[in-house]
Structure 1
Amino acid sequence: MYEGDCQPGDRAASVEEITRQQFGAARAAKLAELERDCSNAIIAGFASAALGNVHTYPAKDTDQQNLASSVLSSLMPNLPIDWATPFWCADENGNWAMRPHSATQIQQVGIDGKSAIIVAIQCKAVLEATMMAIDLYAPDATERLEAIKWPA
């Protein structure tokens, strides 16, 4: 006998077991894809009109930490009336610069950034729920799973 040959008492995997395993692997790959797409949507940045017209703000991890720090600083008691913090953003022409933000403005940027993150997370949750609702034994299960895509 050779290694890998069937032994007494061995049984072949059922079609159901194979289907479950294959669909489970495809589902796990789709979960990883959605996680990556959600993360990419978040770090792509967000828009805010806190400065009066729409500007684009970065949202990589360090950017989010800097924004949280700026918002926290804006909440400190006894700030001077003309308090401002410089923050990196791009105008409608894509020109990036450190622009001064008042306490109210940086707080609005923080609200807008958090809203953008929540929208991405909610989108991911809806797509995951749609994926988990697919009956793996349905004839079109694989096609339905493959059709789940992050919105453009």
Structure 2
Amino acid sequence: MKALLVEGIIIVLDLDRFEEYTVKHGLDQYRPNTVTGMLTSLVENFVRKWRAVVVYGLDYERGTEETILEIPYGYEQINEIVKDLKVIKDEVNRVGASITIVVIRDYVLGRKAKNRREAYHGTPGRRRAIRVLRKAKRAGGNKLVLLL
């Protein structure tokens, strides 16, 4: 069965230098802590509000450190979506951590990935979003990058 691509929004969120943060604050990387637990909750609320598809990364057992979301046809409400992503970034910054968020308008599949490789390389838009994310993180991170 061939996948159906529709235009939408790809969102990639990733905590910056999280291993350093956990060591500095004495937190466990493998269980939900103040940052990953909060990010899980914030992403879950965002997904519910915007009917986004969690392609990869929402983790209740370990806490969310990175996630890829897709919103089919989401470009119609892009201003409101960006406002909600700024709230997520501000909340993460408030507890002393930093996060990089990339938002790209491209074609989306709108379904969960089978594994990490498919999540990161499943569509040209996701590959582009990951490249932009890595570039932003190398430049210091804690950014909200919009490619619309």
Asked if these proteins are the same fold (TM beyond 0.5), I'd say no
Greater helix share, structure number: 1
Question: Which has the bigger relative contact order, CA under 8 A and spacing at least 6?
Answer: 2
TM-score, length of structure 2 as denominator length: 0.30
Structure of higher CA gyration radius:
1
